[in-house]
């Protein structure tokens, strides 16, 4: 005997059921998204707090250590004057003073590093202005090194003018420090993009082994030993400033002649 035929499905009921399932799926996806968003927010807040605590520690440590260091320098200088006729004492005090002065420079750079990127006020800045400020500050070093600086007109960017001046200062100072016997040529150019601009500072100095072009952005990373003065924090400060500006920095070199420093800033 034939079974009775199944009733035809109600199209409206089927559509309502599918609609309800879609609504439930969407609600679950929204809940998952908000939970993930809250987790990211908490992690970012924790990271910001940890960064702030580290910056406070660096500031306090580098600031407080300068007081006993001043005493070391002062008494070493007094010994130097007191025993001017004693060659052995002169030699010892020279070592003490040299080490203390290098430590003072390092602590001063640590203070700058601890504050780098902390400026909150950003506005549309004509980048020619902070560049000119950096060039004026470095004018004695530029003259004594015989460096020739060629610069194009730079665009505007959203930035903190003082921190970008420090950025240019560290990049140009590095080019001067790591020059070769060939007369130093520094060229500053710019390329305007849709959402940002790229500034390029190239020189014909000593160059960097391409393997270390990323490592030199880390604090205290020095490639040329103590023969060239410096703290190893200049490019790390630049990196920190640009990270706070939502920009980036990278270096290019063939390891033989010259280094090119590129960085971006939001337009």
Cβ neighbors of 242 (< 8 A, separation 6 or more) are 167, 248, 249, 263, 264, 265
pLDDT in tens, 9-46: 677 777 777 888 888 888 888 888 888 877 787 776 77
Q: Does domain 123-266 have CATH number 3.30.565.10?
A: yes
Query: What is the residue-level pLDDT of the chain in tens, covering all 267 positions?
Result: 545 566 666 777 777 778 888 888 888 888 888 888 777 877 767 766 666 676 677 677 677 777 888 888 888 888 888 888 888 888 888 888 888 888 888 888 778 887 788 778 889 999 999 999 999 999 999 999 999 999 999 999 999 999 999 999 999 999 999 899 999 999 999 999 889 999 999 999 988 888 888 888 887 776 655 556 666 788 999 999 999 999 999 999 988 899 999 999 998
- Residues, the chain, total? 267
């Amino acid at each position: 005997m034939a079974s009775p035929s199944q009733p035809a499905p109600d199209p409206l009921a089927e559509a309502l059921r599918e609609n309800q399932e879609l609504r439930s799926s969407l609600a679950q996806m929204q809940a998952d998204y908000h939970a993930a968003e809250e987790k990211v927010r908490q992690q970012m807040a924790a990271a910001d707090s940890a960064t702030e605590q580290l910056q406070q520690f660096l500031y306090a440590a580098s600031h407080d250590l300068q007081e006993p260091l001043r005493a070391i320098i002062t008494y070493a200088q007094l010994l130097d004057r007191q025993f001017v006729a004693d060659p052995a004492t002169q030699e010892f005090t020279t070592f003490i003073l040299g080490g203390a002065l290098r430590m003072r420079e390092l602590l001063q750079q640590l203070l700058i590093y601890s504050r780098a990127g902390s400026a909150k006020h950003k506005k549309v800045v004509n980048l020619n202005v902070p560049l000119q400020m950096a060039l004026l500050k470095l004018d004695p070093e530029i003259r004594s090194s015989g460096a020739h600086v060629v610069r194009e007109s730079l665009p505007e960017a959203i930035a903190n003018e003082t921190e970008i001046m420090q950025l240019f200062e560290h990049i140009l100072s590095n080019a001067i420090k790591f020059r070769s016997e060939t007369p130093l040529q520094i060229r500053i150019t710019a390329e305007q993009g849709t959402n940002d601009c790229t500034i390029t500072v190239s020189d014909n100095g000593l160059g960097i082994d391409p393997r270390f072009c990323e490592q030199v952005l880390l604090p205290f990373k020095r490639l040329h030993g103590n023969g060239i003065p410096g703290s190893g924090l200049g490019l790390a400060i630049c990196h920190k400033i640009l990270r706070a500006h939502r920009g980036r920095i990278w270096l290019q070199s063939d390891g033989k002649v010259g280094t090119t420093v590129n960085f971006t800033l939001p337009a």
